[in-house]
Amino acid sequence: MSSGATPDPYTDPLAFGQRLQILRTRRGLTRDQLGGLVGRSGSWVKSVETGRLGTPKLEVILRIAEVLRLRDLSDLTGDQSMRVDLFTGPGHPRLPSVKAAVDAFPLTRTREAPPTAHLNARLRGAWQARHSAPNHRDVIGALLPDLIRDAQATVRQANSGAERRAAHAVLAEVYSLTQFFVAYQPDAALLWRVAERGLVAAQESEDPHALGVAAWLAAQAHRDAGHSHFDAADAVNLRTLAFLEPLLPDASDEILAITGALTFEAGYTAARRGETGTAWRYWDQARAMAARLPADYYHPVTSFSHAIMGAHAVTIAVELHQGGESVRQAAAADAVTIPSRPRRARHRIEEARAYQLDGQPDVALATLAQAHEAAPETIKYNGFAKRIVLEEAESKAPARRRRASELAARIGVLAA
């Protein structure tokens, strides 16, 4: 090549350590923070990044990918033959039709808007269908396009300020349901459009419950975007809590539930930061709010209830990397049945994380099988479940390796 030729950017591909440093920096983590989250030291991370240590074993790579919330494992390994979606699913077949409804910008009156009462009844049915269906994404994905279009039309065709505010409250909840569908799908921009539109519609509604739900989902979107977005998650969360707290003395069940859900979310973010005392303090506050609710109450959006607090305790312990405590909480939580199939499957995945953290990989795989039985579409799009299965598929124990491989085929890892 002549000295004036354009250099080939792929002649010297990035080493694993270089990729790790770039991805770590992008997530806003120090070496000590990343090391602590994967069970290593900051000096170990430095040695890997500078090339003094070689590429770690697969189980460590998967833990790093989990902490960095990578969408594709090849971003870290550089091996394009190893393209594995981790925290984004392969894309649901109904995603294009839902996306088309979200992206549409109708200015003409092409459909007659239904009454808000009718839309509310359809929403209640959609939430019930989501909680009861093992293929919940398929079910709500079929309902969402018309719900989105009808809710938008109801806002546009409202005849008074009160009607418009009520219509915005319904539209905000439709976007909340939509966010459940688009989460972990291969379209991050769509997720953020839905979250932001939900916040705008909730603000226009001036309805405290709608504002709380939209903030709850926005805080999750910020937190899932990575460590550098945790402050944004807290800002949305804590400001909304400050807005709702004056309403608590005479609060309805739904206001109490959304306040409790937001309180737990603050603890969840604290746990992701490694702030043990703060995380458990928020969990205690949320449990006290749950205790004020009727025993059979179950919030349709957040799942906040008596039943969910045990599952939340498992999540806090797992995020704090407290292996023994997470298993203890998992044993306690099993005494209560979560009525929602996808939420029950999510809890089983959190339990599996607890068992693997505690050095019980066979129990972790058995628990993931229970998650698959409860709601196959939940485990299919869950990166933590995929990480455990991929790691155990490399186990030195033949029986465990076989079980993990069979589960990988069942949840669709091989098709991702």
Average pLDDT over residues 28-40: 86
Residue 172 lies in a domain: yes
Report, as an integer, the average pLDDT of 264-272.
97
- 127 and 165 housed in the same domain: yes
Q: Which of 52-66, 70-84, 102-116, 183-197 has the lowest mean pLDDT?
A: 70-84
Give mean pLDDT, residues 84-112: 80
- The reported pLDDT for the residue numbered 28 is 80
Mapped onto helix, strand or coil, the DSSP state of residue 381 is: coil
Helices (H), 42-187: 42-49, 58-68, 74-77, 95-103, 116-132, 136-156, 161-182
Which of 153, 178, 206 is at the close of a domain? Answer: 206
Can you tell me whether residue 7 is helix, strand or coil?
Answer: coil
Q: For 91, left (φ over 0), alpha (ψ -120 to 50), or beta?
A: left
pLDDT band per the 50, 70, 90 thresholds, residue 8: very low
- Give 7-14's long-range contacts (Cβ < 8 A, gap of 24+): 13/78, 14/78
Helix or strand (DSSP H, E) at 282:
helix 276-291
pLDDT of residue 74: 78
Same domain assignment for residues 72 and 109: no
Q: What percent of the chain clears pLDDT 90, i.e. is strictly above it?
A: 65
Instruction: Retrieve residue 358's tokens.
Output: 């505690």
**259 in a domain, yes or no?**
no
> Does position 169 have pLDDT exceeding 50, yes or no?
yes
- What share of the chain has pLDDT > 70, as a percent? 92
Q: 312 or 413: which carries more pLDDT confidence? A: 312
The Cα 170–Cα 183 span in angstroms is: 20
**Per-residue pLDDT tens digits for 47-72:** 999 989 888 888 788 888 878 877 67
43 & 113 share domain: no
Residue 13's pLDDT band, with cuts at 50, 70 and 90, is low
323 or 170: whose pLDDT is higher? Answer: 170
pLDDT reading at 90 higher than 70:
no
**Rounded CA separation 17/259 (Å):** 43
Number of structural domains in the chain: 2
**CB distance 230 to 272 below 8 Å:** yes
Task: Tell whether 95 and 170 lie within a shared domain.
Answer: yes
Of 240, 191, 12, residue with least CA distance to 91: 191
Residue 331 predicted with pLDDT over 70: yes
Residue 140 has pLDDT above 80, yes or no: yes
What is the C-alpha to C-alpha distance for residues 268 and 410, in angstroms, rounded to an integer? 30
Supply the pLDDT for residue 249: 93
Highest mean pLDDT among 105-109, 110-114, 395-399: 395-399
Question: Does the residue 270 lie in any domain?
Answer: no
Q: Is 20 inside any structural domain?
A: yes
Using pLDDT thresholds of 50, 70 and 90, give the confidence band for residue 7: very low
Specify burial of residue 120 (Cβ count, 10 A radius: 0-12, 13-18, 19+): middle
pTM for the full model? 0.81
CA distance 75 to 108: 44
pLDDT category, 129, cuts 50, 70, 90?
A: very high
Does 333 map to a domain?
no
Domain span at residue 163 reads 91-206
For the stretch 192-200, contacts whose Cβ atoms lie closer than 8 Å and that sit 24 or more positions apart, written own/partner, are 192/221, 193/102, 193/103, 194/102, 195/221, 197/102, 198/172
Q: Output the pLDDT for position 70.
A: 78
How many Cα neighbours within 13 Å face the side chain of 249? 1
Question: DSSP secondary structure string, 71-104?
Answer: SBTHHHH--GGG--BSSS-S--TTHHHHHHHHH-
DSSP secondary structure string for all residues of 317-350: HHHTT-HHHHHHHHHHHTTS--S-HHHHHHHHHH
Whether residue 278 is contained in a domain is answered as no
Average pLDDT over the chain, rounded to whole? 89
> Same domain for 100 and 202?
yes
107 has a pLDDT exceeding 90 = no
Q: Which amino acid is at 117?
A: A
In sequence order, which residues have a C-beta less than 8 Å from that of residue 198 and are 6 or more positions away?
172, 175, 176, 178, 179, 213, 214, 217, 218
Domain boundary among 43, 62, 82: 82
- 98 with 188, same domain: the answer is yes
96 and 150 housed in the same domain? yes
pLDDT of residue 247: 96
Side chain identity at residue 2, one-letter code? S
Final residue before a domain boundary, out of 160, 191, 206: 206
On whether both 72 and 103 belong to a single domain, the answer is no
pLDDT value of residue 170: 97
Neighbours of 79 (CB within 10 A): 12
Asked whether residue 21 carries a pLDDT value surpassing 60, the answer given is yes
pLDDT, one tens digit per residue, over 209-254 is 999 999 999 999 999 888 889 999 999 999 999 999 999 999 999 9
Instruction: Give the mean pLDDT of 299-304.
Output: 96
Q: List, as one string, the DSSP characters of 18-49.
A: HHHHHHHHHTT--HHHHHHHTTS-HHHHHHHH
